[in-house]
Amino acid sequence: MNRIYIKEIKNKIGEEVKLAGWVDVRRDHGKLIFIDLRDMSGKAQMVALPNHKEAHDNASKLRSEWVVEIIGKVNKRPEKMINKNEELGEVEVEITEVKILSEAEIPFEKDAATNLDTHLDNLPLTLRTEKAKAVFKVQAEIVKAFREFLNQENFTEFQAPKLIGEDAEGGANSFDVTYFKHIAHLAQSPQLYKQIMVGVFEKVFAVGNVYRAEKHSTTRHLNEYTSLDMEMGFIQDHTDIMRMENRLLKFVMDALKESCGKEFEFLKATVPEVPENTIRFRFYFHNAFPDGKKAFLYTRRRK
Amino acid sequence: MNRIYIKEIKNKIGEEVKLAGWVDVRRDHGKLIFIDLRDMSGKAQMVALPNHKEAHDNASKLRSEWVVEIIGKVNKRPEKMINKNEELGEVEVEITEVKILSEAEIPFEKDAATNLDTHLDNLPLTLRTEKAKAVFKVQAEIVKAFREFLNQENFTEFQAPKLIGEDAEGGANSFDVTYFKHIAHLAQSPQLYKQIMVGVFEKVFAVGNVYRAEKHSTTRHLNEYTSLDMEMGFIQDHTDIMRMENRLLKFVMDALKESCGKEFEFLKATVPEVPENTIRFRFYFHNAFPDGKKAFLYTRRRK
């Protein structure tokens, strides 16, 4: 029997299926043992009954995050057992066979708020939460939409080196790398390479990690992050870039609305609105000087 | 007037157009000055006639790789002047205005074969050749197709850190990075992170640079290269991976055939054929030992 994804059981009522995934939670009621099984597609409830003795024994051993293969029969739940809050809350799987693929030990209480050290020390486990998954999903969708838009606009993607001889940009500090008998640096930006490639393809972009050797104590600064970079030639002025960026941001946010609604809801966040047109400002000056020169006073957004 | 791409002039016969790009070659016949102008979309011939004096004077100053804006009228070439080898060989632009955006100096003879040092010292110029562009175009298409296939197969892309505490893999040597008061390393592979992320999303991939601190004197070894990495959970055995890789390679090669025909032709290369099914081997053994143990002799591809 081939393994199917958990979300497919909705259409397999009455059939025997083979599933694989992680034990999300085990609730042991003695005779009845409930297992919430999770895979990349979703989560569903499995139940082990005493009449399948071996499966029941195995199910009683399971703990959160153990990796298992389960064979069982998909049943529609009785009316009063239906859980409307779960996507697969109308079905459950009656377990006939449990195969333990891998045990796991969680060195903290599952679902408890962990402090930063515990979180970082246990990423293989802490990244499995809905919240962490939502962050990674949104990241993946942003990068995907960024590339999709720029490909549509005939930009060419290229791979920029990060191991460089000199600083690509002034400003930020760079990390030193021992490069055989020399000192090399980690690039703070693909700027130089983008400019070279504009001479080749006119419109280019790069997605890659960049490095800033700055000490920090906030989560808003990072020594290493993924930078989304574009560069285009033959512009008239900065408003060409602003218009392109505006359309790019709108495309990315529209993609997020379409594909990450659930994730934003879970993160209690909303996808930012991008105005149809670039923001324009009106500049206000004051006749400040005797020679007629004006002093800059303030800007106000133009309607 | 808005600038249009050079390839668009085909449909603008009789019209005035504004173009921008690089001087590919200038041929000065005295009265007639021919300029081959190149932009991201293609290349076409422009001609400056003495009756547009200022444009003619400016055109006479131009040299290869200067960046210019040209206004002119698109004409159909007389029958005997048509160049069937060029995509835009049936038209030319009669120059009425030349604006020099940037001069350029090439410290070697254009189109001459450069040695490796000259090539590397002058990448902003040497990468503009058809050959170099073809290589970058093929690279971009491979990465694009790789991602497209894996996204279709519900793999999740993630950004792996390259700045790591310990070696991610044994084998290859790593570069040391001075990380404030510590020594960090450049990752030789995203292996560890892929395995963590398989526990989160089951099917994941990463595209990013990796580092091998090995001296080399061939162009087949690199200290830094872009690695295309995938990892999937819940496989039965290695043949699951082989089948997935086979389909992936087929998808990538099909994409190259579709989008990079011109580039492969230029590089005098052919896109590799990927068999429909994974290659299987038959193993041949020999009764070599008195205790009945067999020695491995050879493999032969199974039909």
Q: What is the ipTM of this complex?
A: 0.90
pLDDT of residue A215: 83
Percent of chain B exceeding pLDDT 70 equals: 97
pLDDT of residue A292: 74
Cβ(B41)–Cβ(B6) under 8 Å? Answer: yes
Q: Which residues of chain B are within 8 Å of residue A68 when distances are taken between CB atoms? A: none
Put simply, the answer to whether A162 touches B162 (Cβ < 8 Å) is yes
Q: Do domains A6-102 and A130-269 have the same CATH topology?
A: no
Between A76-80, A228-232, B3-7, B61-65, the lowest mean confidence (pLDDT) is in A76-80
Of the candidates A8, A47, A13, A9, the one whose C-alpha atom is nearest the C-alpha of residue A27 is A47
The DSSP code sequence of B262-287 is HHHHHTT--PPP--SS---EEEEEE-
Alpha-carbon span A42 to A20, nearest angstrom: 11
Of B127, B200, B226, Cβ closest to residue A159: B226
Cβ(B67)–Cβ(B29) under 8 Å? Answer: no
Alpha-carbon span A302 to A282, nearest angstrom: 6
SS3 A102: strand
Residues 6+ apart with CB under 8 A from A181: none
Of B144, B176, B200, Cβ closest to residue A127: B200
Residue A296 CA, chain-centre distance (Å), reads 43
Q: Which residues of chain B are within 8 Å of residue A234 when distances are taken between CB atoms? A: 3, 20-21, 39
Assigned architecture for domain B130-269: 2-Layer Sandwich (3.30)
Q: Which residues of chain A are within 8 Å of residue B207 when distances are taken between CB atoms? A: 207
Long-range contacts of residues B105-112, Cβ cutoff 8 Å, at least 24 apart = B106/B63, B106/B64, B106/B65, B110/B64, B110/B65
Interchain CB contact of B42 with A (< 8 Å) = no
How many other C-beta atoms can be found within 10 angstroms of the C-beta atom of residue B57?
13
- For the residues B92-121, what does the mean pLDDT come to? 91
Tokens 């008239």 locate to: A236
pLDDT of residue A169: 63
Cβ(A220)–Cβ(A211) under 8 Å? Answer: no
Q: Are strands B182-186 and B163-164 parallel, antiparallel or unpaired?
A: antiparallel
Interchain CB contact of B1 with A (< 8 Å) = no
CA distance A202 to chain B (A): 6
At position A191, the amino acid (one-letter code) is Q
Q: Which strands, in side-by-side order, build the sheet including A203-211?
A: A156-157, A203-211, A224-232
Cβ(A8)–Cβ(A32) under 8 Å? Answer: no
Cβ(A188)–Cβ(A211) under 8 Å? Answer: yes
CA distance A10 to chain B (A): 19
Checking if the pLDDT of B295 tops 80, the result is: no
Put simply, the answer to whether A196 touches B123 (Cβ < 8 Å) is yes
Instruction: Say if residue B300 is exposed, middle or buried (CB neighbours under 10 Å; 0-12, 13-18, 19+).
Output: exposed
SS3 B96: strand
Cβ(B19)–Cβ(A202) under 8 Å? Answer: no
Alpha-carbon span B233 to A230, nearest angstrom: 34
Task: Tell me how far CA of residue B124 lies from CA of A168, A193, B19, B107, in angstroms.
Answer: 15, 9, 22, 12
Please provide the average confidence, as pLDDT, over all residues in chain B. 91
- Using only C-alpha atoms, chain B has a radius of gyration, in whole angstroms, of 27
Alpha-carbon span B257 to A212, nearest angstrom: 40
Put simply, the answer to whether B234 touches A127 (Cβ < 8 Å) is no
Checking if the pLDDT of B269 tops 80, the result is: yes
Q: Which residues of chain A are within 8 Å of residue B22 when distances are taken between CB atoms? A: 199
Look up residue B222 and give its DSSP letter: -
Tokens read off for A182 = 């020399």
How many other C-beta atoms can be found within 10 angstroms of the C-beta atom of residue B35?
27
> Whole-prediction pTM value?
0.90
Tokens read off for B115 = 């040695």
Tokens 């162009």 locate to: B219
How many other C-beta atoms can be found within 10 angstroms of the C-beta atom of residue B217?
5
Each residue's pLDDT expressed in tens, for chain A with a length of 303 residues: 899 999 999 999 999 999 999 999 999 998 999 999 999 999 999 999 999 999 999 999 999 999 999 999 999 998 998 998 888 999 999 999 999 999 999 988 877 788 889 999 999 999 998 899 999 999 999 999 999 999 999 999 999 999 998 765 656 689 999 999 999 999 999 999 999 999 999 999 999 999 999 887 777 788 999 999 999 999 988 889 999 999 999 999 999 999 999 999 999 999 999 988 777 777 777 777 777 777 777 777 776
Most confident of B23-27, B216-220, B299-303: B23-27
Alpha-carbon span B259 to B137, nearest angstrom: 9
pLDDT tens digits for range B152-191: 999 999 999 999 987 656 566 899 999 999 999 999 999 9
SS3 B207: strand
Tokens 């960024």 locate to: A146
Chain A contacts in chain B segment 168-197 (CB below 8 A)? 175-180, 186, 195-197
pLDDT of residue B168: 57
- For testing the chain A interface, which of B159, B176, B221, B227 should be mutated: the one with the most A CBs within 10 Å? B159
Of A147, A176, A226, Cβ closest to residue B159: A226
Backbone angles phi, psi at A80, to 5 degrees: -75, -10
Interchain CB contact of B215 with A (< 8 Å) = yes
pLDDT of residue B169: 63
Q: What is the CATH number of domain A6-102?
A: 2.40.50.140
Look up residue B11 and give its DSSP letter: G
Q: Where are the domains of chain B?
A: 6-102, 130-269
Of B20, B143, B156, Cβ closest to residue A136: B156
pLDDT of residue B22: 97
Put simply, the answer to whether B224 touches A162 (Cβ < 8 Å) is yes
pLDDT band at B16 (very low <50, low <70, confident <90, very high): very high
pLDDT of residue B91: 96
Residue B39 CA, chain-centre distance (Å), reads 17
Backbone angles phi, psi at A205, to 5 degrees: -145, 160
Q: Are strands B156-157 and B203-211 parallel, antiparallel or unpaired?
A: parallel
Chain A contacts in chain B segment 110-129 (CB below 8 A)? 123-125, 127-128
pLDDT band at B110 (very low <50, low <70, confident <90, very high): confident
Q: Which residues of chain A are within 8 Å of residue B119 when distances are taken between CB atoms? A: none
Q: Which residues of chain B are within 8 Å of residue A177 when distances are taken between CB atoms? A: 175-178, 186
pLDDT of residue B278: 77
Tokens read off for B293 = 């143990």
Task: Say how many Å lie between the first and final Cα of chain A, rounded.
Answer: 64
Alpha-carbon span A88 to A106, nearest angstrom: 26
Checking if the pLDDT of B108 tops 90, the result is: no
